């Protein structure tokens, strides 16, 4: 299908909007009426037609605006993109993975022509047509990781694998849920996860790491993670907390439906062939509460999940203060009827709100 790209902002006037299609395919992260951390990983091998799982790298209506927002973040703070010297080969691996995937999955938008080491890359939506020499950095305007991730939605952490651990040695991080690449660079899997509550005690990180170390070429995996964001802000970084943290206090019963967004990350994991590194794309999807409430199943479920969520998680995710306001709003969409299993909205079969 041809995508109509939005012209919108994720800052200042917040003109970001989701179309009906974007709402229908929103990755609602709760497959049941409660939530707890778990090793929730599955293979990333396609999914229902037009869902965000279908392609290796989902491209949607927000593509161009998200890339504009990224360029602005980088102009203000170049340290959001870093790559330690030994990670250049992994950067080329990533460039190849994204170019090959996008040109195969969206042939009307992207083209890749390879003649030996001479590659021509055409990105029609962004108006890019570049010819370069594969593995020769001097032929690109940026390093390979930065070049390609300025053209791909979502953050990218590139992990070196050694000594039975993963090391955050490169990344392009501009749409993060309150963590910092500049702080985490060079850390290992346990070090960068240190702030997360409850999960360490449950042994989740030990098992998750074993799973990740074994991710093989040709067999990528994925999981969903979520948090809450007031206003459709992509860049909720610690560096800029002084700008966005304060916005959390602007919620009222009247504006919460439009301002409060569920922020969902589609996290995928790919083994990179030449470097044996692992890439962790973190794709952020935002949806306002009022748009979510158009699916009766999501309305019922979100209320129950937030109501029963342990306080440690609400505190870590930064919305404990707004939880009463959220529950007051969400309770109006919960009539107590049962919900069907799975994350999909089931518009056709789920009963309408009986309230």
Partner 1 sequence: MSGAEKIAVKVTDIVPLNELVTRFKFERVDGGLLPTFSGGAHTVVELRDGAITRLNPYSLMSDPMDQRAYTISVRRDDAGRGGSLFMHNNVRLGDELTISYPVNLFSLDLRAKKHLFIAGGIGITPFLAQIKQLELFNGNWELHYSCRSPDLGSYVDELTGRHPNEAHIYYDDQKQAIDLVRLLDGQPLGTHVYVCGPKGMIDWVRATAAAEGWPREAIHYEEFLAPKPGKPFEVKLAVSNKVIHVGEDESLLEAMEREGVDAPYLCRGGACGQCETDVIDYAGKFIHRDHWLDEAEHSSGKKIMPCVSRFEGKTLVLDR
Residues serving a catalytic function are: 223
Under the binding rule (CB under 8 A), the answer on residue 274 touching partner 1 is yes
Q: For 39-154, list the strands marked E by DSSP.
A: 42-43, 81-83, 110-115, 118-123, 128-133
Binding-site residue total for ligand HEM (CB under 6 A)? Answer: 22
Can you give the length of the chain in residues? 355
Candidates 347, 349, 355; CA nearest to 26 is 347
Q: Is 273 in the site for partner 1 (CB under 8 A)?
A: yes
Q: Under the criterion CB under 6 A, does residue 280 sit at the interface with ligand HEM?
A: yes
Closest CB to ligand HEM among residues 128, 194: 194
Contacts of 14 (CB under 8 A, 6+ apart): 231, 232, 233
Nearest-angstrom CA–CA distance, 191 and 165:
11
Q: Are 215 and 270 in contact (CB under 8 A)?
A: yes
For ligand HEM, the binding residues in 133-192 under the rule CB under 6 A are 157, 159, 166, 168, 177, 179, 184, 192
Task: Give 177's DSSP letter.
Answer: B
d(CA 100, CA 265): 23
Burial of residue 335 (CB within 10 Å: 0-12, 13-18, 19+) is middle
Is 193 a binding residue for partner 1 by CB under 8 A? The answer is no
Binding region for partner 1 (CB under 8 A) out of 29-37, 160-168, 235-243, 299-307 = 160-168
Per CB under 8 A, which region of 208-216, 241-249, 279-287, 305-313 contacts partner 1?
208-216
Cα separation of 115 and 127, whole Å? 22
- Which residues make beta-bridge pairs with 265? 225, 284
Distances (CA, A) of 195 to 30, 130, 198, 239, 247: 23, 42, 10, 17, 23
Say which DSSP state 10 is in.
Answer: S
Among 210, 243, 332, 355, binds partner 1 (CB under 8 A): 210
Please tell me the distance from the alpha carbon of residue 235 to that of residue 155, in angstroms, as a whole number: 11
Whether residue 269 contacts residue 222, with contact meaning beta carbons closer than 8 Å, is answered with: yes
- Residue 225 interacts with, from partner 1, ligand HEM, none (CB under 5-8 Å by kind): ligand HEM
The entry of ligand HEM, partner 1, none that residue 276 binds, CB within 5 to 8 Å by partner kind: partner 1
- Considering the rule CB under 6 A, would residue 215 count as an interface residue with ligand HEM? no
Which residue number, 36 or 219, has a Cβ lying nearer to partner 1?
A: 219
Residue closer to ligand HEM by CB (options 26, 132) is: 26
Near ligand HEM by CB under 6 A: residue from 17, 24, 55, 193: 193
* Residue 243 interacting entry, from partner 1, ligand HEM, none, C-beta within 5 to 8 Å by type: none
Q: Which of the stretches 11-19, 83-91, 327-335, 336-344 binds partner 1 when contact is defined by CB under 8 A? A: 83-91
Instruction: Give contact residues for ligand HEM (rule: CB under 6 A).
Output: 37, 39, 157, 159, 166, 168, 177, 179, 184, 192-193, 195-196, 199, 204, 208, 212, 225, 227, 280, 316-317
The footprint of partner 1 (CB under 8 A) covers: 84, 86-87, 89, 135, 160-163, 210, 213-214, 216-219, 273-276
């Amino acid at each position: 299908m041809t995508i109509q790209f939005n012209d919108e902002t994720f800052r200042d006037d917040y003109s970001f909007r989701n179309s009906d299609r974007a709402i229908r395919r929103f990755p609602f992260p709760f497959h049941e009426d409660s939530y707890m951390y778990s090793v929730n990983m599955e293979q990333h091998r396609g999914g229902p037609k037009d869902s965000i799982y279908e392609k290796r790298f989902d491209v949607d209506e927000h593509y161009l605006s998200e890339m504009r927002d990224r360029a602005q973040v980088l102009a203000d703070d170049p340290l959001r993109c870093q790559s330690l010297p030994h990670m250049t080969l992994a950067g080329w691996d990533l460039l190849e993975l994204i170019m090959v995937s996008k040109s195969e999955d969206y042939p009307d938008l992207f083209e890749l022509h390879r003649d030996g080491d001479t590659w021509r890359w055409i990105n029609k939506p962004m108006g890019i047509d570049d010819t370069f020499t594969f593995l020769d950095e001097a032929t690109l305007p940026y390093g390979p990781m930065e070049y390609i991730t300025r053209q791909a939605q979502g953050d990218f952490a590139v992990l070196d694998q050694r000594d039975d651990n993963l090391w955050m040695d490169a990344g392009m991080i501009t749409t993060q849920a309150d963590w910092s690449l500049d702080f985490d660079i060079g850390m290992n899997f346990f070090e960068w996860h240190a702030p997360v509550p409850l999960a360490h005690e449950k042994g989740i990180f030990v098992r998750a790491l074993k799973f990740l170390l074994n991710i093989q070429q040709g067999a990528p995996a994925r999981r969903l993670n979520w948090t809450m964001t007031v206003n459709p802000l992509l860049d909720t970084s610690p560096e800029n907390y002084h700008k966005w943290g304060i916005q959390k206090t602007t919620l009222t019963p009247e504006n919460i439906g439009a301002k409060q967004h569920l922020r969902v990350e589609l996290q995928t994991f790919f083994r990179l062939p030449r470097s044996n590194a692992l890439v962790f794309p973190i794709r952020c999807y935002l949806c306002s509460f009022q748009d979510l409430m158009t699916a009766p199943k999501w309305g019922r479920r979100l209320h129950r999940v937030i109501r029963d969520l342990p306080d440690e998680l609400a505190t870590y995710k930064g919305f404990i203060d707004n939880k009463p306001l959220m529950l007051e709003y969400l309770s109006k969409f919960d009539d107590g009827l049962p919900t069907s299993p799975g994350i999909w909205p089931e518009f056709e079969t789920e009963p309408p709100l009986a309230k």
